[in-house]
Amino acid sequence: MTDVRDVTVVGAGVMGCGIAQVAAGAGCDVTLVDISPASLTAARDAIATSLNRLVRAARLTRTRADDALRHIRLTTSLDEPAARADLVIEAIVEDLGAKQALFRRLDGLCRADVVLATNTSQFPMTQVAQHTADPSRVIGMHWSNPPQLMLLVELVVGRSTSEEALRVVREFAARCGREYVVCRTDLPGFISNRLSVALFTEAGRMVDDGVAGPADIDRVARMMFGHRMGPLETQDLAGLDTVLRATTAMASFYGERFEPPESLRALVSAGRLGRKTSGGFYDYVDGEKHEPGTEQ
C-alpha cells in the first residue's frame, strides 16, 4: 500500500467536513464528495468558517488556513476521485445498507492497494465489508466530533482487516496530529460509542424524569467530570436523528440498557434535530444556545 497523499472523503456532513479539513491541514490533496450540490456549498462555507475560527483563536496561521482550503476540492462525482485516491474515508449517513452499497462501489473504483476506511460509530467492520472482494483493506477510522478540534481517532479492526491497512491509517492519523486507540473486537459501538451512548441515554432519561434541565445536566458533565461539552449539547451538535439511529441500533444488539429515552424520540418526531434545525434539547438563535423556556 502506498503512502497517503491524495484522500477522498465521501459525505459532506459535519464529520466529513471536519475530516476533510484535518486531512487538508496535514498537507494532503482532499476531494470531498457528496451527492447533493447544496451540501457541498454548505460544506465549503463550514470549512472556511471553522478555519477562520482557528485563526482568530491563534491556533492556526492565516497562511496555513488558506493553504488548507486550497487543498480541498468538492464534487458530486465519485468515480474519478476514488480512482485517484490513496485513501478513502466514508462519512455518509449512519445506515448499514447505504454503507455496504458504497463500499461495494468503492471496491470496484479504487486501486487494489487503497485502504477503505469507514467513520461509522457503531457498525462492525465485517458487516460494512460484507460485499467487498477484499475485506482485508476495510478498516474503521472513527473520528471524534468535531474532527477538527478533537485529537483522538478510534481505529477498528475487523476479522479480515490486514495489519497493513492498520499501519496506513495509524500513520495517517499521526500525520494529522491525532492520537489513536485500536479496537480489535469487532462488536457494535466499539469503545467510544458504548461509553457515549450510555451517557447520552442516561442524560435523556434524567430529562424524562424531570431530574434537571438540559443546562444543569450538561454543567455537571463539564464542571464535575471535566468534559468539554455536556451529553445533551453534544447530541444537539451531532444531530438527534443520527443519535436516535445509533442508540436504536445499539439497543437492538445489547438490549434495553441502550434503549433511546422518550425525550430523544419526541424531539426527533417533532423535527427538532439539534443545531442543524435551530432546536433540539436546546434552542439556537443566531448560533447561540438557549434552554427552552428561558428568555433569549
Residues labelled catalytic: 121, 142, 154, 193
Strand 6-10, strand 115-118: pairing: unpaired
The C-alpha cell that represents 133 in the structure block: 472482494
Residue 202, H or E segment: helix 192-208
Instruction: Name the 3-class secondary structure at 128.
Output: helix
Pick from 111, 124, 57, 50: nearest CA to 85: 111
Residue 143, H or E segment: strand 138-143
Strand 288-290, strand 29-33: pairing: unpaired
Q: CA dihedral in degrees (151, 156, 162, 168; nearest 10)?
A: -10
CA distance 93 to 8: 16
Helix segments in 57-189, DSSP class H: 62-70, 79-84, 96-109, 125-128, 163-175
- Please report how many Cα atoms fall inside a 13 Å half-sphere around the Cα of residue 264, on the Cβ side: 29
